[in-house]
């Protein structure tokens, strides 16, 4: 009997085993939760790094494209400006030619008019 008192009853032993199992289960569950939280946190940090890197790359590409478009537009504007200046120059030359011809014709008419009036 003394042996039973020292070791306790089998029922008490089962209860102690059950408590130990429950305690172990709680520790396992706590470890799982902590591990899950750590994994989630690490994954979130990695996702943030990837997102930041991709965003930086996208900004660089957009900036290069913007610069390319601006450069192309500037070249096109310069070309159009030169063409316009050439056209204006050509028109001025033609206008000057017509103006000289008009002045010459007007002078001839005036001379003819004066000559006809003198008679």
Instruction: Return the domain boundaries, the chain.
Output: 7-118
Contact 7, 13 (CB under 8 A): yes
DSSP 91: H
Rounded Cα distance between 43 and 31, Å, is 18
Task: State yes or no: pLDDT of 3 exceeds 60.
Answer: no
Rounded Cα distance between 98 and 100, Å, is 5
Opening angle at CA 15, ends 9 and 16, nearest 5: 90
Select, from the ranges 14-18, 83-87, 94-98, the one with the highest average predicted confidence (pLDDT): 83-87
Output the pLDDT for position 1: 41
Give the model's confidence band at 55: pLDDT under 50 very low, under 70 low, under 90 confident, else very high. Answer: very high
Rounded Cα distance between 6 and 17, Å, is 16
Query: What is the pTM for the complete model shown?
Result: 0.50
């Amino acid at each position: 009997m003394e042996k039973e008192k020292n070791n306790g009853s089998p029922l008490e032993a089962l209860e102690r085993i059950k408590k130990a199992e429950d305690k172990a289960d709680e520790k396992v569950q706590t470890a799982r939760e902590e591990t899950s939280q750590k994994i989630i946190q690490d994954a979130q940090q990695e996702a943030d790094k990837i997102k930041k890197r991709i965003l930086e790359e996208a900004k660089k590409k957009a900036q290069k494209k913007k610069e390319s478009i601006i450069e192309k537009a500037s070249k096109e504007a310069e070309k159009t400006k030169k063409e316009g200046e050439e056209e204006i120059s050509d028109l001025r030359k033609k206008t000057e030619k017509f103006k000289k011809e008009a002045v010459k014709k007007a002078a001839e008419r005036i001379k003819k008019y004066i000559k006809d009036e003198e008679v």
